[in-house]
């Protein structure tokens, strides 16, 4: 059952591991180059506009990135019954989304990310390949969810650098 709150949430976006990690040196959106972009993202995290979910945080093994998320006071949305029901639907509809082969590039966190986005009506931010059928962008489109990478987020929000 959904808990009632006095204030509407400001949640607008949910961020995937690939986008969170893209700030690291050598990555496409390295903080070393895109400092003001990350300052805008941090502001949105503090304002509860950008959030993530617990399964995504569990995927992140980098202690510095976990510390960064905590410093930003990024809301980490928990998994509840509604999210679990959404996950079951997603995995049933898209069984190849999760592979337990030990290969890199597969993630059980993806289904939870999408399921959480479904519950809250959030746009998903991910750096995953938009053309691969088992990746977040294509799965999101199946469920009518808006999906974008960080560059598109900057365009949508009108951030100019």
Distances in whole angstroms, Cα of residue 128 to Cα of each of 20, 71, 73, 107: 12, 25, 25, 12
Looking at the whole model, is its pTM more than 0.85?
yes
The answer to whether residue 135 sits within a structural domain is: yes
Measure the CA–CA gap between 124 and 84, rounded to whole angstroms: 18
- Looking at per-residue pLDDT, the higher value among 81 and 107 belongs to 81
Measure the CA–CA gap between 106 and 156, rounded to whole angstroms: 28
pLDDT at residue 131 greater than cutoff 50? yes
pLDDT at residue 100 greater than cutoff 60? no
CA 63 to chain centre: 18
| Domain carrying residue 65 | 13-157
pLDDT at residue 2 greater than cutoff 60? no
The answer to whether residue 141 sits within a structural domain is: yes
- Looking at per-residue pLDDT, the higher value among 29 and 108 belongs to 29
In the chain, % helix, strand, coil (3-state, to 5) comes to 45, 10, 45
- Under the banding of pLDDT at 50, 70 and 90, the label for residue 108 is confident
The answer to whether residue 27 sits within a structural domain is: yes
- Looking at per-residue pLDDT, the higher value among 2 and 13 belongs to 13
pLDDT at residue 75 greater than cutoff 50? yes
The whole-number pLDDT of residue 99 equals 66
pLDDT at residue 104 greater than cutoff 70? no
Residues 115-124 have a mean pLDDT of 98
Residues 2-22 have a mean pLDDT of 82
The answer to whether residue 7 sits within a structural domain is: no
The answer to whether residue 4 sits within a structural domain is: no
pLDDT at residue 74 greater than cutoff 60? yes
The CATH number linked to 86 is: 3.40.50.1010
Domains held by the chain: number? 1
Average pLDDT score over the chain:
92
Residues 28-50 have a mean pLDDT of 97
The whole-number pLDDT of residue 148 equals 99
The answer to whether residue 2 sits within a structural domain is: no
């Amino acid at each position: 059952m959904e808990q009632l709150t006095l204030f509407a949430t400001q949640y607008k976006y949910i961020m995937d591991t690939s986008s969170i990690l893209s700030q690291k040196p050598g990555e496409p959106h390295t903080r070393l180059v895109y400092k003001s972009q990350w300052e805008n993202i941090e502001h949105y995290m503090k304002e509860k506009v950008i959030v993530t979910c617990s399964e995504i945080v569990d995927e992140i093994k980098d202690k510095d990135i976990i510390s960064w998320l905590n410093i930003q006071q990024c809301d980490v949305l928990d998994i509840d019954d509604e999210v679990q029901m959404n996950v079951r639907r997603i995995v049933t509809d898209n069984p190849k989304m999760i592979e337990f082969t030990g290969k890199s590039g597969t993630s059980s966190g993806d289904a939870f990310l999408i399921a959480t986005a479904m519950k809250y009506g959030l746009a998903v931010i991910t750096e995953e390949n938009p053309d691969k059928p088992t990746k977040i962008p294509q799965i999101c489109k199946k469920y009518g969810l808006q999906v974008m990478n960080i560059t598109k987020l900057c365009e949508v929000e009108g951030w100019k650098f």
